[in-house]
Amino acid sequence: MKARPIPPFVPEEHIEIGNRMRDMRASLMLVVRRMLLGSPIHDDALAAIMALDRVRTHLDCDLHMLVRASRDPRQMVSKVYSGTENLVWRDYSMEEIVTDDFAVWGLAR
């Protein structure tokens, strides 16, 4: 039997990356909105957003492959790279750790 490869990131790392990508995209959108259309800075920021979105899509697919649905009762996997809210530490019970890969994470309010 062939050994399963070790995933490049664990769910907690995906959350950290997703939060930072969300923040970076918002910053780049501010640059796009403020810079003159067609200027080098505007065009570079727009290209960076498109590249960031492609990387985010690939990482989102990897995360969906990594986390079994049975280990995600609150369906947090779909919120790691999507939406506008960052994920933050939350209060959790030890029972949740047993059944939920995202037990310690919740949406920022």
Tell me the pLDDT tens digit for each residue of 12-57. 999 999 999 999 999 999 999 999 999 999 999 999 999 999 999 9
Domain-located, residue 29: yes
CB burial of residue 34 (10 Å; 0-12, 13-18, 19+): exposed
* 65 in any annotated domain: yes
pLDDT of residue 109: 72
Q: For residue 58, tell me if it sits in a domain.
A: yes
Q: Binning pLDDT at 50, 70 and 90, where does residue 7 land? A: confident
CA distances from 10 to 48, 62, 64, 73 (A): 25, 10, 12, 18
4 domain residue, yes or no: no
Range of the domain at 57: 11-107
Residue 101 lies in a domain: yes
